[in-house]
Amino acid sequence: MTFIAWMNVELLLVPVLFLLSYIVVVRRYIRRLDPVVQSQRTQYGQMNAGLEETISGIEIVKASAQEAFERLKFRRNARKYRDFFVQQGRIEAGYLPLLLYGLAFGLMFLQCLLLYQRDSMTTADIIAAMGLMVCCAFRCSSHYSHSH
């Protein structure tokens, strides 16, 4: 962002807005996704534990005629796991940071062209600014996703 500011301070508008919106959107995404993933992991553990108990004690289950009950219990656990998996997929389908990046990139290019029309930028400046925007967005996404 420093290099973008050295080129033209006006160009900082889009990267700063992108950075702020990216942080807000990713935090919201993680806040929505985390409980579902935790529930999914818990349900998977319960399903596996129940299945392990059933397989380990299959002779006892058959002897006491609880086979249908165990099948029903497994299906119920598997259905809950599937529901959490579907819920996770729906949340992940609404991942907005990539859309924000595309919008920010387009707005940055538009802003560069407007500055070019005013003779405030050259073609080389536009190319450099767009390259710096890519670097800025990449660093922002890699830093934020690793730190949170």
Domains of the chain from N-terminus onward: 2-147 (1.20.1560.10)
- Residue (of 23, 19, 15, 22) closest to 111 by Cα position: 15
Q: What is the mean pLDDT of the chain?
A: 83
**What confidence tens digit (pLDDT) does each residue in 42-86 have?**
888 888 887 777 776 665 555 555 667 777 888 888 898 899 899
Q: First and final CA of the chain: distance in angstroms?
A: 21
Tell me, yes or no, if the pTM score tops 0.75: no
pLDDT at 10 exceeding the cut of 70: yes
> What's the whole-number mean pLDDT along residues 101-107?
92
100 contacts 49 by C-beta, under 8 angstroms? no
Q: In the prediction, which pLDDT does 64 show?
A: 57
